[in-house]
Chain A
Amino acid sequence: MRLKLGVPSKGRLMEKTFDWFGARGLELRRTGSDREYAGAVGGIEGVDLVLLSAGEIPRELDAGRIHLGVTGTDLVRERIPDWARRVEEISRMGFGQADLIIAVPKCWIDVDTLEDLDAAAAAFRREHGHRLRIATKYHRLVREFLREAGVADYRLVDSQGATEGTVKNLTAEAVADITSTGDTLRANHLKIISDGIIHRSQATLFRSKSASWGDQERAAMTAVERKISA
């Protein structure tokens, strides 16, 4: 069987991925028309390119339908239970950097640390009769982080987009979201909790441990590793 390499199918993430492999002598390219999601890998034998939505790559790695995949470490940790047993990090690629952080309104001058957030949540719950709401799409990562930190009296509310706007819209009191420059947070009058950095993510090449690894796939993998470590 041929080795399947899953990469993001569009946008800057795709371009940067193509550049990263290109610089290492692996020529990734799309084939067919602009709109057709088909691709090929040059400079190496036995490797197929699979173009996927970036968010689906963790699932495909976990299911073993692709052998290698490029995606953010944040998505792997969020979407693959017990991820370290399921996939292996081959190489951090140095782009797509983004931090998963907890942010609160800038006007909360009394809140700078998780300890403050916890105390504010307790008082908020007494005052309003419901838990302090944190809007996010990273439920698992945020929940585990706050449990470790011993923060109580909060509740996660799901937000799949425009998360920074939820506080102003009164659907959440705080947010846990990805940021790279912090511009969107500032524009929405939010600030990052100083010890509230949950995870620093970047685009990473992962190997699936559950994909079938026969002689051919292993040979192709050795060839890929030789290229990317050269």
Chain B
Amino acid sequence: MQPTKDQVRAEAARLQALFLETGAKAVDPNILQPANILLDLYGEDIRARAYVTGDPLKGEQMLRPDFTVPVVQMHVANGDGAARYTYAGEVFRRQEVPELGRTNEYFQVGLELFDSEDAAEAEAEVFDRFSSALAPLGLRAAMGDIGLLIAAVAGLKTTEARKNALMRHLWRPRRFRALLDRYSGRTPPPPSRRALLKRLEREMPQNMVQAVGPHIGLRSEAEIEQRLETLRIEAAAPPLSAAQVTLIDDMLDIRETPANALERLRDIAVDMPALDPALDRLERRLDAMRARGVALDQVEFEASYGRTTMEYYDGFVFGFYAGGRPHLPPVASGGRYDALTRVLGQGREIPAVGGMIRPGLALELAGKGAA
């Protein structure tokens, strides 16, 4: 039973009214967004998901694929200090293959909190507001915390270069795994790398670059020599200990109630104390949620939650799902995205947490659609 557009719009307004009651300011970003900002943030992948169109004067434009980026930009441009915003409107998603249960144009209703004084309290509030708004639907709730993985990587006993490379691929689990395997010696370097390293033992990088023929392109000889030096240092660095890799694996495997997950994470932190500050934040968040009356035992904590779909979300992440229908997209999702404000905020990082609901899907699940 597909609800009509009018019904979805009315549901969006009803949900937005709940967010307005919390003191959020309604905002209405443009549908057409400059493409270069989204392309710079998400790379080519966004082209597969968003509609790109051209404007003769403004250049490439995108039909907004979500509201978060324009809301952050708006806050950075105008706002200062604590603020909360709500929006309701359509987003547009291109599909290269038909995706079951997803349409290429749908409504989102959102709530975003900026620069809140108490991070844990803000996170608990956002989850609670979404949970309450969706309570009648009996959805499955899941949460995670990308901050744990960030803390684990930061705490690895290895070179800064390796940590930076791992941080860069937090949201690409397969490449992240390949890097861990390479650094721990589980995958040996390819023969071409070994041959190159051997040559570096007796030849000058500068001579090696020049011997290969004419230099072409924007990437300079100095950049090539710099990377050769990076490779030499990397090869000389001792391998990442298997024990540390196992700790990360154990951590990412956790799927428990939040209370049990916290306990297991504390066990892991005995051998990986770098996790402690992130675990303190998690504990304070869970306390704040409990204090607001969130039934935490009904929520599943998945340590790897959001890693493939929520780039720039770098802390608390959550989603609400229709239990028996796993092919459907989340009815709601959100989290903390300080990393996004850091990129868009011209060097200034603004604590930000929020989320969005798909009112069309919520209506469909409630069985309120037109017959």
Contact = CB atoms under 8 A, between A and B. Distances in A.
B264 interface: no
Given A112-B190, A118-B175, A152-B172, A167 B224 contact: no
Interface stretch (A17-25, A49-57, A103-111, A203-211): A103-111
A107 B215 contact: yes
A107 B44 contact: no
B233 interface: no
Contact of A150 (B175, B192, B226): B175
Nearest to A144: B48
Contacts of B174: 150
B218 A173 contact: yes
B44 A150 contact: no
Contacts of B182: 115
Interface in A102-132: 105-110, 112-113, 115-116, 118-120, 122-124, 127-128, 131-132
Q: Tell me which of A131, A150, A168 has the highest count of chain B C-beta atoms within 10 A of its own C-beta.
A: A150
A34 interface: no
Contacts of A153: 43
A120 to B, nearest CB: 6
A127 B214 contact: no
A155 interface: yes
B208 A113 contact: no
Interface string A134-153: 00000110011011011111
A194 B47 CA distance: 27
B178 A139 contact: no
Interface string B240-256: 00000000000000000
A105 B44 contact: no
B217 interface: yes
Range of interface residues on chain B?
35 or more
A215 interface: no
B217 A105 contact: yes
Contact of B98 (A82, A107, A128, A131): A82
Contacts of A128: 218
A82 B96 CA distance: 7
A113 to B, nearest CB: 6
A112 B209 contact: no
Given A81-B96, A152-B169, A194 B192 contact: yes
B347 to A, nearest CB: 14
B216 A107 contact: yes
A112 to B, nearest CB: 4
B47 A143 contact: yes
Contacts, number: 110
A124 B220 CA distance: 10
Interface residues of A, number: 43
Nearest to A149: B175
B47 A139 contact: yes
Nearest to A118: B175
Contacts of B71: none
A118 B168 CA distance: 11
Contacts of A105: 215-217, 219
Contact of A107 (B97, B213, B231): B213
Given A152-B169, A167-B217, A194-B192, A107 B175 contact: no
A108 B44 contact: no
B224 A152 contact: no
Nearest to B48: A143
A2 interface: no
Contacts of A147: 44-45
B276 to A, nearest CB: 29
B198 to A, nearest CB: 13
In the A-B complex, the 8 residue pairs with the smallest Cβ-Cβ separation, listed nearest first, are: A150-B175, A112-B192, A110-B227, A82-B97, A150-B172, A167-B217, A168-B216, A105-B217
Interface of B: 39-40, 43-45, 47-48, 96-98, 165, 168-169, 172, 174-176, 178, 182, 190, 192-193, 196, 208-209, 212-219, 221, 223-224, 226-228, 230-231
Given A150-B178, A156-B44, A189-B213, 15 more contacts: A82-B96, A82-B98, A106-B212, A107-B216, A110-B224, A110-B227, A110-B231, A120-B219, A123-B223, A123-B230, A143-B48, A144-B48, A146-B44, A150-B172, A152-B169
